[in-house]
C-alpha cells in the first residue's frame, strides 16, 4: 500500500464515524454503460459522479477541452498547463480501473450537448453523470446538456460534489442566499451532516471494455509559457501528499503562520481544490482525524483552516444566488457609481512590480514567477490597485486569473470584490491597508522582500519596507508612484 493510499485509508477509518459511502451491491441484471463527464474534478477517489456511475454499470469517461472558451474566461498558460497535466494524471488512474478516457476538443461550451450526445449514442450509454460547477456560463452549459439528453431519452445526473450544501439549500431565515460570510459559516457548521462529509467510494476495477483511451493532445501554442511544472506537480497523488504534509507539519500552526509570506505556513492546496484533484470532504475528514472528530472546535490552527474551506463554498453559493457577480458587476449595487481612474501607466507598474512599495512589488513578482501568491499578499496587492490607484478591480481580477495556477472564478472574484469594498463581507470603504504597515507587521525582517526584490537585499532589514531615497543612490528601484496619505484621501472621497 502506498503512503498516499494508507493516508486516505486512515482518513476513511477515522474514529469520528464519518466513514466512506460504500458502493451498492451489484444485481444479477445486465449492467448498461455509464458515461462520466470529467471537468474540474480530476480524481478517482471521493468523486460523487464517478462513484454513482460505477454502481450502475461499466464506466466510460470523457473530458471536453475548451481552450478558446477557457481563455475567454481569463485562464492563462499556468492554469491550462496544470489542467492538461491533471487530465493526464487522472487518465493513468482511470486506466488502472479499466475505465477508458475519451478526449474531445470543442471551441465553445454550446458545443458540449452535441458532442456528449454523439458519444453517448455511439457507445450505447444509458446515463450521463457529472459534478456541478457554479459559475453562470458553466451552469447554462450543464442545463443545455441535460435538456439535450432528456430530449434524446437519456438521463443526465448532476451531483453537488464540490460543496456540502446544494445552492438554495442553506438560506437565511428570510429564505434568501447569504450575502455575509459569518452567518453562512455558522449555519454551515450547525447543519452539516455526516452523510455530507462522508467520502464517496472509489470504483472497483471493472472488466475491460473494447474501447481504448484516446491519446491526449499537446496544448496548442499559448500567448505565454507556463511556469515550470515541477513547482506544482499535478494529480491526486500530489494533492494527497500536500494534504498529509500540511497536517503533519504546519496545520496546527496555521492560525499563527498563515499571514507570514516568508513562511511556508499555508496548505498550498488551492490549485488542487480548484481542479478537483482533491475534494473538500477529503480535507475535512483529514482534519477530523487530526482534531478528535471536530471541525469547529479543538485546535485553532486546524479550525481556522476549515474556515477557509467554508469560505470557498460560500463564494460558490454567492455565484448562484447573486449571478450579477458572474456578469462583471459588483455585488454591492450602489458601487456601480464609483468613478474608476484610467491609469494604464499605474496599472502596468502594478503588474510588473514597479510601484515603489516593496511588499506590493515582491508579491507581484511572486505571482508572475510562480503562478501563485500568498493570500495575505493577495489582499494587500488587490487593495493597493483598487484603492491606492483607484483602478477598476476588474482589471486586477483579470490579471490574477491570467497568471494564477489556482485561478477559480468564484474565489478570485470574491476576494477582489472584498478588497475593493464592492462585494460580500466587503471591507468597509474606509479600510485601506497601508502597504508599509502591512509589510512591517507580516514580513518584519524583510526576508520575503529581499527574496523577490534582490536589489533591496543589501539594505538594512528595517529599511526594506519603505526604502529612504538616500539609500537608493546605487540601487535601481523606483520611488513610490503614489503617496499613501494622498491616495487614501482620494479613495475615501471617491
C-alpha cell at 2: 502506498
Rounded CA-CA distance 199/236 in Å is 15
* CA 23 to the chain's CA centroid: 29
Rounded CA-CA distance 335/165 in Å is 30
Cβ neighbourhood burial of 202 (10 Å; 0-12, 13-18, 19+): buried
Rounded CA-CA distance 341/493 in Å is 13
* Cα angle for residues 490, 335, 325 (degrees, 5° grid): 130
Residues in CB range of 151: below 8 A, 6 or more apart? none
Q: Is the alpha carbon torsion for 241, 401, 426, 347 positive or negative?
A: positive
Rounded CA-CA distance 190/422 in Å is 29
Rounded CA-CA distance 131/49 in Å is 6
Instruction: Please list the active-site residues.
Output: 308, 311, 340, 375, 393, 416
Taking alpha carbons only, the member of 459, 491, 490, 484 closest to residue 474 is 459
Q: Which residues pair with 33 in a beta bridge?
A: 125
What count of Cα atoms within 13 Å lies in the side-chain half-sphere of residue 367? 29
Residues in CB range of 369: below 8 A, 6 or more apart? 227, 452
C-alpha cell at 154: 437519456
C-alpha cell at 134: 457554479
| Contact status, residue 262 vs residue 448, Cβ threshold 8 Å | yes
Q: How many CB atoms lie within 10 A of CB 345?
A: 8
Question: What are the distances in angstroms from CA 431 to CA 183, 219, 434, 491?
Answer: 22, 43, 9, 10
Rounded CA-CA distance 482/434 in Å is 12
C-alpha cell at 143: 442545463
Residues in CB range of 319: below 8 A, 6 or more apart? 134, 135, 136, 325, 326, 409, 410, 413
- Residues counted in the chain: 494
Location of C-alpha cell 483579470? 398
Amino acid at each position: 500500500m502506498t503512503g498516499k493510499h494508507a493516508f486516505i485509508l486512515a482518513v476513511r477509518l477515522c474514529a469520528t464515524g464519518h466513514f466512506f459511502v460504500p458502493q451498492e451491491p451489484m444485481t444479477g441484471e445486465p449492467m448498461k454503460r455509464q458515461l462520466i463527464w470529467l471537468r474540474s474534478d480530476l480524481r478517482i477517489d471521493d468523486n460523487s459522479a464517478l462513484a454513482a456511475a460505477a454502481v450502475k454499470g461499466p464506466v466510460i469517461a470523457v473530458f471536453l477541452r475548451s481552450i478558446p472558451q477557457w481563455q475567454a474566461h481569463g485562464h492563462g498558460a499556468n492554469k491550462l498547463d496544470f489542467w492538461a497535466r491533471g487530465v493526464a494524471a487522472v487518465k493513468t488512474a482511470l486506466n488502472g480501473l479499466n475505465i477508458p478516457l475519451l478526449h474531445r476538443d470543442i471551441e465553445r461550451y454550446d458545443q458540449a450537448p452535441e458532442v456528449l450526445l454523439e458519444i453517448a449514442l455511439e457507445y450505447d450509454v444509458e446515463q450521463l453523470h457529472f459534478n456541478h460547477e457554479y459559475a453562470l456560463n458553466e451552469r447554462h452549459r450543464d442545463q443545455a446538456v441535460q435538456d439535450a439528453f432528456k430530449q434524446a431519452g437519456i438521463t443526465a445526473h448532476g451531483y453537488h460534489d464540490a460543496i456540502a450544501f446544494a445552492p438554495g439549500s442553506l438560506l437565511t431565515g428570510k429564505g434568501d442566499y447569504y450575502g455575509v460570510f459569518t452567518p453562512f459559516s455558522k449555519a454551515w457548521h450547525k447543519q452539516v451532516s455526516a452523510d455530507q462529509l462522508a467520502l464517496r467510494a472509489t470504483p472497483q476495477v471493472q472488466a475491460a471494455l473494447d474501447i481504448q483511451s484516446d491519446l491526449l493532445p499537446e496544448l496548442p501554442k499559448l500567448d505565454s509559457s507556463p511556469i515550470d511544472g515541477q513547482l506544482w506537480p499535478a494529480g491526486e497523488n500530489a494533492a494527497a501528499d500536500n494534504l498529509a504534509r500540511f497536517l503533519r507539519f504546519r496545520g496546527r500552526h496555521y492560525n499563527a503562520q498563515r499571514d507570514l509570506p516568508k513562511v511556508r505556513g499555508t496548505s498550498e492546496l488551492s490549485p488542487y481544490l480548484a481542479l478537483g484533484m482533491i475534494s473538500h470532504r477529503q480535507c475535512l475528514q483529514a482534519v477530523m482525524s487530526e482534531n478528535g472528530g471536530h471541525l469547529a472546535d479543538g485546535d485553532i490552527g486546524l479550525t481556522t483552516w476549515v474556515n477557509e474551506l467554508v469560505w470557498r463554498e460560500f463564494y460558490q453559493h454567492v455565484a448562484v444566488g447573486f449571478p450579477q457577480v458572474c456578469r462583471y458587476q459588483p455585488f454591492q449595487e450602489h458601487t456601480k457609481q464609483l468613478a474608476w481612474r484610467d491609469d494604464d501607466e499605474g496599472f502596468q507598474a502594478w503588474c510588473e512590480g514597479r510601484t515603489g512599495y516593496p511588499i506590493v512589488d515582491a508579491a507581484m513578482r511572486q505571482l508572475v514567477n510562480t503562478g501563485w501568491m500568498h493570500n495575505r499578499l493577495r489582499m494587500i496587492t488587490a487593495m493597493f490597485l483598487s484603492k491606492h490607484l483607484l483602478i477598476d478591480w476588474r482589471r486586477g481580477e483579470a490579471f490574477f486569473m491570467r497568471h494564477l495556477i489556482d485561478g477559480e472564478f468564484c474565489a478570485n472574484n470574491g476576494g477582489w470584490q472584498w478588497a475593493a469594498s464592492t462585494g460580500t463581507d466587503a471591507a468597509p470603504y474606509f479600510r485601506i491597508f497601508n502597504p508599509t504597515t502591512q509589510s512591517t507587521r507580516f514580513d518584519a525582517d524583510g526576508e520575503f522582500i529581499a527574496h523577490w526584490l534582490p536589489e533591496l537585499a543589501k539594505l538594512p532589514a528595517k529599511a526594506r519596507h519603505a526604502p529612504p531615497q538616500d539609500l537608493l543612490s546605487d540601487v535601481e528601484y523606483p520611488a513610490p508612484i503614489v503617496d499613501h496619505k494622498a491616495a487614501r484621501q482620494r479613495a475615501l472621497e471617491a
